[in-house]
A and B are shown apart, each in its own frame.
Chain A
């Protein structure tokens, strides 16, 4: 039982980067834009957030307030990734470039950006790009009061996490509510399904696409922040985030473009990612465990295309640019 509880907690901790990335990408894809730049956005967010906190603490020294450092890191991570997506949005929506190619360019740029500034500021910091212990504690400290955490089993399973995890779950619930229950959310989905019809119905397609892409990108950036601050302990290490963005893209499919499925999906993926460290009884090589998330995604992808259930399909116009004049 303890093993299971610990395993579950570790899976949640591991999966949250993916949860942020996936939720951001779901928002983007629901508006019909397939942004393959998630990998780059996670890098941009992670490095910018860390650097903002680092520079602030360096400037003020001992006078730095940990809370301000956290707030600045949040703003920087969100803004950097949102600006990266704005670039993507401008290119694909206004300048009508190919979404796949532009997304890949964003990944190349974003990974380069993250690694470049991460390395550069590590040099500035004398070999270490790290936040203060006080600020780091805010990220790792459990959010909820002790009496909840002390409930046996359930307390550990549900109430023992840091604030970034609850924030992410909250985003998922808000998104699910937004898509299903609000007029604006339905308009957004209409834009992703059939932009021409949405346009005819008086929905501002361009505005929805821009907003969804930039907000979604910003959320992906928070995933990067989570990774550097929580998984990485507030410390930059080169190449550590490698592949997280692609896993998030995979998880979007696994979650069938539904925010709440992304929550438990990210726990499943987190579990698959750490299984090689914890479950060794079966004599399966560790590297085979690590490809499981991708194999599972392929199976899901194939089965949704074979079964053709309408509610499980990708947004119909996903990846297709919309030009009003070229209908």
Chain B
């Protein structure tokens, strides 16, 4: 038996170029849409009209666009929070919890001082409290990781549910609005609400500023460089004289603080109250957004926009079909798009070389 050359060999690609890489990614998005079209057909709908209605529902009118942006803001914010941690290969999947803690801290000040402080003082204090709270919550697993090597993926994951549990306790207990029994926290007074600009919360601008900040932070600062080195190899970083533990703890503070800010934006600019779904899964979806954007903040803008359009579009479809196509179809479609885009990264990084006939003949 002669040994055959394998049918497919893999070789690392030389740099494909940003343009070509994005073309492959966009093709993969279409692949997901086509796969999902099959499902839509199988439940008896016309995929083209469903997709058209989705886009109409997401972008068809100024009001729809506003609602889409409302979905996009926390998602983009969450993915920005993930960027520095993931760049360092610190798998922070606790953004969900860090957003929640940010929301709790902001809400504490809102509920306590909304009738005594003017907006100009209260909002900055809420903002700061949220950032510090989220940052400290993010730092906790980092300290253990730096000191004892505690697995950060699992630690940050557990902290999510602890934070969410605390909110559940607060909204059913000490912070519950009167009359009791609603399991809800009262809506903030006007002083604790962020103003709207063009129908969308001013928090959008905070997130936009964060996009630019994060882009520059990772690319042009010394700290950003340290993060990249630690991410590539902790040993190298140590030899280069970088205090790895300090970088890990500091970066996780930054990551958590950004997540905390997102919590502030959600409670003060979007929901005007705190609930256990303040993060609502964006901490998890944000991870995939950040990863697919190659941890590039500019790319995150586009991918979070795409997912926001899908989410808003799916809720429109749900209304249009009178619940026959449940809203959760956006999750499924999001999942499919994530799978396809993840798979596409492989084709961006590697080249497949098929076994050729001539070679076999030559043997």
Docked pose: A321 CA to B282 CA in angstroms:
26
A95 near B343: Cβ-Cβ < 8 Å: yes
Docked pose: A109 CA to B172 CA in angstroms:
31
Knowing A250-B158, A294-B161, A302-B148 are in contact, say whether A115-B331 is a contact too (CB < 8 A). yes
Docked pose: A285 CA to B172 CA in angstroms:
9
Q: How far is the CB of B210 from chain A (nearest CB, A)?
A: 21
Residue A96, interface by CB 8 Å: yes
Residue A108, interface by CB 8 Å: yes
- Which residues, 184 to 220 on A, are CB-close (under 8 Å) to B? none
- Which residues, 82 to 100 on B, are CB-close (under 8 Å) to A? 91, 93
B342 — which chain A residues lie within 8 A by C-beta?
A: 91, 95, 97-98, 101-102, 105
Residue A290, interface by CB 8 Å: yes
Docked pose: A240 CA to B165 CA in angstroms:
17
Residue B116, interface by CB 8 Å: no
Q: Which of B151, B161, B330, B345 contacts A243 (CB 8 A)?
A: B161
The closest CB in chain A to the CB of B330 belongs to A112
The 10 A-B residue pairs whose C-beta atoms are closest, nearest first, are: A109-B335, A112-B331, A291-B165, A112-B332, A115-B328, A119-B326, A287-B169, A105-B338, A305-B150, A95-B346
Q: How far is the CB of A284 from chain B (nearest CB, A)?
A: 10
Residue B6, interface by CB 8 Å: no
B154 near A106: Cβ-Cβ < 8 Å: no
B157 near A105: Cβ-Cβ < 8 Å: no
A302 — which chain B residues lie within 8 A by C-beta?
A: 144, 148, 150, 155
The closest CB in chain B to the CB of A115 belongs to B328
B325 — which chain A residues lie within 8 A by C-beta?
A: 120
As a 0/1 sequence over residues 289 to 324 of chain A, the CB contacts with chain B under 8 angstroms (1 = contact) are 011001101100110011000000010000100000
Q: Which of A96, A119, A295 contacts B328 (CB 8 A)?
A: A119
The closest CB in chain B to the CB of A87 belongs to B339
Q: Which of B43, B287, B345 contacts A104 (CB 8 A)?
A: B287
Residue A237, interface by CB 8 Å: no
As a 0/1 sequence over residues 275 to 303 of chain B, the CB contacts with chain A under 8 angstroms (1 = contact) are 00000010011011001000000000000
Knowing A36-B93, A120-B326 are in contact, say whether A287-B168 is a contact too (CB < 8 A). yes
A250 — which chain B residues lie within 8 A by C-beta?
A: 154, 157-158
Knowing A287-B172, A302-B144 are in contact, say whether A110-B335 is a contact too (CB < 8 A). yes
Docked pose: A246 CA to B94 CA in angstroms:
12
B335 — which chain A residues lie within 8 A by C-beta?
A: 40, 105-106, 108-110, 112-113
B158 — which chain A residues lie within 8 A by C-beta?
A: 250, 294-295, 297-298, 301
The closest CB in chain B to the CB of A113 belongs to B332
B91 near A100: Cβ-Cβ < 8 Å: yes
Q: Which of B151, B173, B338 contacts A108 (CB 8 A)?
A: B338
Residue A288, interface by CB 8 Å: yes
Knowing A287-B169, A287-B172, A301-B154 are in contact, say whether A105-B326 is a contact too (CB < 8 A). no
B285 near A108: Cβ-Cβ < 8 Å: yes
B150 near A108: Cβ-Cβ < 8 Å: no
Docked pose: A112 CA to B144 CA in angstroms:
34
- Which residues, 314 to 363 on B, are CB-close (under 8 Å) to A? 323-326, 328-336, 338-339, 342-343, 345-346, 349
Residue A26, interface by CB 8 Å: no
Q: How far is the CB of B168 from chain A (nearest CB, A)?
A: 4
B339 near A101: Cβ-Cβ < 8 Å: no
B287 near A100: Cβ-Cβ < 8 Å: yes
B155 — which chain A residues lie within 8 A by C-beta?
A: 298, 301-302
Q: Knowing that A112-B330, A120-B43, A319-B91 touch, tell me 13 more A-B residue pairs with CB under 8 angstroms.
A: A36-B157, A96-B349, A97-B345, A104-B287, A112-B331, A112-B332, A249-B157, A250-B157, A285-B169, A290-B168, A295-B162, A305-B150, A314-B151
Docked pose: A96 CA to B328 CA in angstroms:
28
As a 0/1 sequence over residues 148 to 183 of chain B, the CB contacts with chain A under 8 angstroms (1 = contact) are 111101110111111001101100110000000000
B284 — which chain A residues lie within 8 A by C-beta?
A: 104, 107-108
B333 — which chain A residues lie within 8 A by C-beta?
A: 112
A285 near B173: Cβ-Cβ < 8 Å: yes
- In the complex, 14 of the A-B residue pairs with CB atoms within 8 angstroms, ordered by the A residue number, are A91-B342, A96-B349, A104-B287, A105-B288, A108-B281, A249-B154, A249-B157, A285-B169, A295-B158, A295-B162, A298-B155, A298-B159, A302-B150, A302-B155
B173 — which chain A residues lie within 8 A by C-beta?
A: 285, 287
A40 — which chain B residues lie within 8 A by C-beta?
A: 335
Docked pose: A206 CA to B336 CA in angstroms:
24
Residue A255, interface by CB 8 Å: no
A102 — which chain B residues lie within 8 A by C-beta?
A: 339, 342
Residue A253, interface by CB 8 Å: yes
Docked pose: A113 CA to B335 CA in angstroms:
9
